[in-house]
Amino acid sequence: MNRILLGFLSGLILLSPAAQAEERKKGGTVTGPVIANTLIENFNPYTQQAGANPARGFIYEPMLFHNTLQNKVEYRLAESHKFSDDLKTVTFTLREGLKWSDGKPLTTADVVFSHEMAKKDAKIDVVSLWTGDKPKLTGVEAIDDRTIKFTLAAPDSSVHGVIAAHYIVPKHIWSKEENHAEFRNKKPVGSGPLTEIKNFKPQQVIVCRNPNYWEAGKPNIDCLKLKQFKGNDQVQVALIRGEIDWGSNFIPDVEKTFVAEDKENNHFWYPAGPTVGIFLNTKRKPMDNLAFRQAFSMALNRPEIVDLATYGYASENPHITGIGNFYAKWYDDEVNAKYDYLNKYSPEKAKALLDEAGYKDTDGDGKRENPDGSKAKIEIMVVNGWTDWMQTVQMATEYLQEVGIDAQIRTMEIGQKIEKFKSADYDAGILWTDIGATPHTFYQNVLHTKGKGVALQANHGIHSEEMDSLLDEFIQTADLGRQREISSKLQAFFAENLMMIPIFSNPEWYQYSTKRFEGWPTAENPYVNPRFYDDGSRVLMINSLYQK
């Protein structure tokens, strides 16, 4: 009887189109790199070791995550989520029959337990849902075994992603522990595709399939082996020697050093990541003048910088509004048409603009002075050793000198640079920006007043109450149309004020080999952004891989 039932069930699974398309060969061990000095036997998902810690994403799966490339919500442990009309509560529904890897059922009791832990101990509250200056949640309540309702402190239409980023751990294991923040969880019981630690060494960890995984037939692979490497150069050697199946680091001249070794199997794909730009301190001369900032922007030859400083791996930002192709779905044609000229290399226009604004070479040293006759000298900060960015800044200073601006590169240590950005003790400096489900993340950190002294990107001196309230409103509405409207206003404000000069979008470094495994996200099949450190993305990626 049982056998008949099983046969029937598997028949059903075979009939469904998704399963038919994914009839894959099973087994195999995928090998990947981790950059660390040594691996640590710690599978606690609440400690920060992004990338290095397989607990995040592999052992514990999120309820859902936002797939930025597809711009949609990927449901994982949850099958749906729903906001109340007033955006004051959000309800998640878990999938049916979820189990922990030890076979015990995974229910909303585990969800409540995991959040109660965070409520009690700020150390567990890694995404600041319950504690901190501005808690996002006020209550959590299990409606039944599969339905759970969160009460929000303030309406926030983006909170579901943050709630889901708080990992769910098994109550029947974790409730026995006293100090959850220091619990090392050496024998994890998890919910993700890979839960069984087969082998742990400071140089490698092997984690194998969850026998009770919810997604039928997944993962296709048996195990994942993460190997420790000290830096990019060592990852590069391992990639070339075929010791690892993928890499996610900068490799100089990847075409020659990696792809050429095995043209058929070795590939790379560098989709656009966060925008990198030069922030200008508008509280100092001459950056206080908008015309100067516009001239700064037009003086730069961005295509050449991308080509030379980043080996062509970065993506040019087609527009000046701060956001790059990562957020392509949010571009506003009208805003772009108005400001795109600022993004184009035109030294003549830059010179004319500077002349007009009164920046002239009055003492005959070949460099322009401020309109009041004082020296207009600017230093652009960059972290010593971040070679692609050093090259970028070096080129930028040369372009600026061509139009008569006395710009110099200033290298320093990362700690010092952070200090200077936070305390607004700088002329200019190159910096990354943050990335999230919507452009809100980018503008929140650059434009919101409350980011001053907290976000590195915020202390440039240009803020407005209107933008603050628009940013607040953005997350308080679930109306996509309204969000687009706000996003356009933010883009326009950014382009109009240019507190930061966007240079390019940093690439997401990602190399892969199809020698042993297929199913990688590729430019042709971009089912997920290959950001290996991104917990949600890595689940989707690992579930799609299969042995050749």
Task: Give dist(CA 494, CA 421) in Å, integer.
Answer: 19
**Binding pattern for the stretch 130-149 against another protein, x by CB under 8 A and - elsewhere:** -xxxx---------------
CB of 403 to another protein, least distance (A): 30
| Cα 438–Cα 426–Cα 292 angle in degrees, nearest 5 | 80
* Binders in 174-193 for another protein, by CB under 8 A: 181-182, 184
Cβ proximity to another protein, 40 vs 259, nearer residue: 40
CB of 66 to another protein, least distance (A): 14
Q: Could you tell me which of 136, 133, 134 has the C-alpha nearest to residue 151?
A: 136
* Binders in 198-217 for another protein, by CB under 8 A: 199, 201-204
Phi, psi of 138 (to 5 degrees): -120, -20
Among 82, 120, 186, 230, contact with another protein (rule: CB under 8 A): 230
H-type alpha helices, 286-428: 290-299, 302-309, 333-339, 347-356, 387-402, 414-422
CB of 391 to another protein, least distance (A): 18
Spatial contact of 234 and 247, defined as CB atoms under 8 Å apart:
no
The window from 106-114, 187-195, 229-237, 459-467 that contacts another protein (CB under 8 A) reads 229-237
Name 379's bridge partners.
Answer: 408
Establish if 384 lies at the interface with another protein (CB under 8 A).
no
The window from 194-202, 365-373, 395-403, 487-495 that contacts another protein (CB under 8 A) reads 194-202
Cβ proximity to another protein, 286 vs 502, nearer residue: 502
Establish if 303 lies at the interface with another protein (CB under 8 A).
no
Say which residues have a Cβ less than 8 Å from residue 66's Cβ, sequence separation at least 6.
72, 73, 74, 161, 436, 437, 536
CB of 222 to another protein, least distance (A): 15
How many residues make contact with another protein (CB under 8 A)? 56
Say which residues have a Cβ less than 8 Å from residue 21's Cβ, sequence separation at least 6.
none
| Cα 505–Cα 451–Cα 394 angle in degrees, nearest 5 | 40
Spatial contact of 335 and 320, defined as CB atoms under 8 Å apart:
no
Name 194's bridge partners.
Answer: 209
H-type alpha helices, 66-122: 108-120
Specify burial of residue 145 (Cβ count, 10 A radius: 0-12, 13-18, 19+).
middle
Among 168, 320, 455, 542, contact with another protein (rule: CB under 8 A): 455
- What would the two tokens of residue 361 be? 């070479």
**Binding pattern for the stretch 237-276 against another protein, x by CB under 8 A and - elsewhere:** xx--x--------------------------------x--
* Binders in 411-430 for another protein, by CB under 8 A: 413-419
Establish if 445 lies at the interface with another protein (CB under 8 A).
yes
DSSP class of residue 141 equals E
Binding site for another protein (CB under 8 A): 36-38, 40-42, 44, 47-50, 122-123, 125-128, 131-134, 181-182, 184, 199, 201-204, 227-230, 234, 237-238, 241, 274, 413-419, 432-435, 441, 445, 451, 454-455, 533-534
